[in-house]
Structure 1
Amino acid sequence: MQWHPITNAEQIEQIKEESKERPVVIFKHSTQCSISATAKSRLERQWDDAGLNAVKPYYLDLLSYRPVSNEIAQSFNVRHESPQLLLIKDGQCQYHGSHLGINLQEVKKIAS
């Protein structure tokens, strides 16, 4: 799994456009939260087994880029949480899960 960093709000529109060609996920991560670290580690371990190779993973360090995190929440009409995984497909958020409730099998089902 190779994360692609999100560092500015302009990337949100690019991600929306990209998601019209291939699904993407955005993982919002708090680098100071143990639950977030656990969720990130779990994602990385389970990614290949979940069969999500066709989905492009984006990563947001929300402590460094909190305004971008807020913009993502507003742009995709989801409540901000951390950790949080959003599946973006056809320019819209099709799935969002947070904390240890993130379900990669559900992501795969919707992404396919």
Structure 2
Amino acid sequence: MAELQDLKSSEDLNQAWESSMEKPVLLFKHSTTCPISAGAFEQYQSFLEKIGDELDAYMVKVIEDRAMSNQIAEETGVKHESPQVFLIQDEKVTWHTSHSKITTDSISDALKQS
């Protein structure tokens, strides 16, 4: 299973960008108070359990780390939503989706198409 790492600082985010040069990165923006986000997070974790260490996995808690969430929106050019998931390769967002579209199948399909 890919180890899930919390993003809490600009340095953490820079590490995620850099690691995307070696292998794909999945980044999940999670609202810890939202039931839709809880369901999407379960899908994200289920995917991570199946994938092994083929990618690096990160998460930002949008309420607790609002500045980090805003920085991600700014750096990716993708409007903030939560829950939201990004597939990043070679320091570029190659796919993203949000809310109920975050499923183990949608993530798997995005990874296959990249």
Please report the TM-score for the alignment, with normalisation by the length of structure 1. 0.88
Q: Deviation at 1:10? A: 2.5
Alignment of 1:98-109 (within 5 A): 98-102=98-102, 103-109=106-112
Cα displacement string for residues 2-32 of structure 1 (whole angstroms, at most 9, x for unaligned residues): 3111011222222111101111111000000
Q: Hey, what does 2:65 align to over in structure 1?
A: 65
Deviations 1:45-80 (CA, angstroms, capped at 9, x unpaired): 23344x464011101111110111010011011110
* Cα distance in 2, alignment partners of residues 19 and 99 from structure 1: 24
Q: How does 1:78-93 map to 2 (within 5 A)?
A: 78-93=78-93
Please list every run of 5 or more consecutive structure 2 residues that lacks an aligned counterpart in the other structure. none
Give the 5 Å matches for 1:1-112.
Answer: 1=1, 2-49=3-50, 51=51, 53-102=53-102, 103-111=106-114
Divergent runs of 4+, >3 A: 46-49
| Separation of aligned partners in 2, 1:70 and 1:88 | 17
The one-letter amino acid of 2:109's match is E
Q: Secondary structure at the match of 1:47?
A: helix
Whether the 8 Å CA contact 2:19–2:56 is kept in 1: the answer is no
**Number of corresponding residues:** 110
2:43 counterpart letter in structure 1 = R
Could you say what the CA RMSD is over the residues aligned between the two structures, in angstroms? 1.6
TM-score (ref. length: structure 2) = 0.87
